[in-house]
Amino acid sequence: MKINSILVDDEQIAREVLKGYLTKYCPNINILGEAENIQEAENLIKKHNPDLVFLDIEMPYGNAFDLLENCNEYQFETIFITAFSDYSIKALNMSASYYLLKPLSIEELIQAVNKVTLSIQEAKTFSRSKILLDNLKHTQIEQQIILPTLNGFDVEKLSTISRFQGNGNFTDVYFSDGKKKMICRFLKHFEEILDLPFIRVHRSHIINVQFVKSFSKSLGGFVTMQDGSEIEISATYKEKFMEIFQ
């Protein structure tokens, strides 16, 4: 299956490296054009309506998110490329977007292209870009997160999640309405992408402090959540937990 694509990066050498890798290792990618800034990229998208855009996040005179905002009526997959920006990476992870870190890894590039190809073949029409843009406009607790399950994925509001519990290679996610979902991610993944009001309190638990009902010092310390569950606060995380409530 041929994937019509455009490359967007303000550095010519970066575009040449990417084009060389794609030509050699991803022959299903058909490169329609290249752009070195947001305006050129917008013109190419509106002209060619591509299936896929390789998009550098940080560029002069606007960034990747400005471009997505300007082209939100067009439906295409995006593989983001970035050299830095912790905030951007957290947003990308929560929206389950595909991204590559510079310098590019050939193996990771091939994996990202294969995932995008599969997504296009299966006609998954949900918009990662829309979720990403929505998340960037809101505080974390108002944001959405894509949770991969055994059968696909679910999009949930972070404000409805009360806690995460490690379950081997999976994570059980508990919601304020009492439901529970088993997610195909390690607990550490959520620790890395989430900030307050989510905090890790135990090697097996991350809690949303907005759902804490009470704290007890007995038995080394534990919290009772609004749903009645009792979560141990391990010594490793206790000091950080107590700082939040002081």
| Digit-coded pLDDT (tens) for 149-191 | 877 788 888 999 999 999 988 999 999 999 999 998 899 889 9
Query: What per-residue confidence (pLDDT) applies to 96?
Result: 55
Please list the residues that pair with 142 across neighbouring strands: none
Query: What per-residue confidence (pLDDT) applies to 32?
Result: 95
Instruction: Give the E-state strand segments of the chain in sequence order.
Output: 3-8, 29-35, 52-56, 58-59, 62-63, 77-82, 98-101, 144-149, 152-157, 161-167, 170-175, 180-183, 198-202, 205-208, 212-216, 222-225, 230-232
Alpha-carbon Rg of the chain, whole angstroms?
21
Helix H or strand E encompassing 107: helix 106-121
Please list the residues that pair with 78 across neighbouring strands: 53
Distance CA(236)–CA(207), nearest Å, equals 15
Query: What per-residue confidence (pLDDT) applies to 90?
Result: 65
pTM of the model: 0.58
Domains of the chain with bracketed CATH: 3-135 (3.40.50.2300), 139-244 (2.40.50.1020)
Query: What per-residue confidence (pLDDT) applies to 110?
Result: 93
| Digit-coded pLDDT (tens) for 82-138 | 876 665 666 666 655 788 888 899 998 998 898 888 877 765 545 566 666 666 666
Query: What per-residue confidence (pLDDT) applies to 4?
Result: 94
Residue whose tokens read 């575009």:
15
In what side-by-side order are the strands of the sheet with 77-82? 29-35, 3-8, 52-56, 77-82, 98-101
Query: What per-residue confidence (pLDDT) applies to 242?
Result: 87
Contact 129, 45 (CB under 8 A): no
Query: What per-residue confidence (pLDDT) applies to 70?
Result: 86
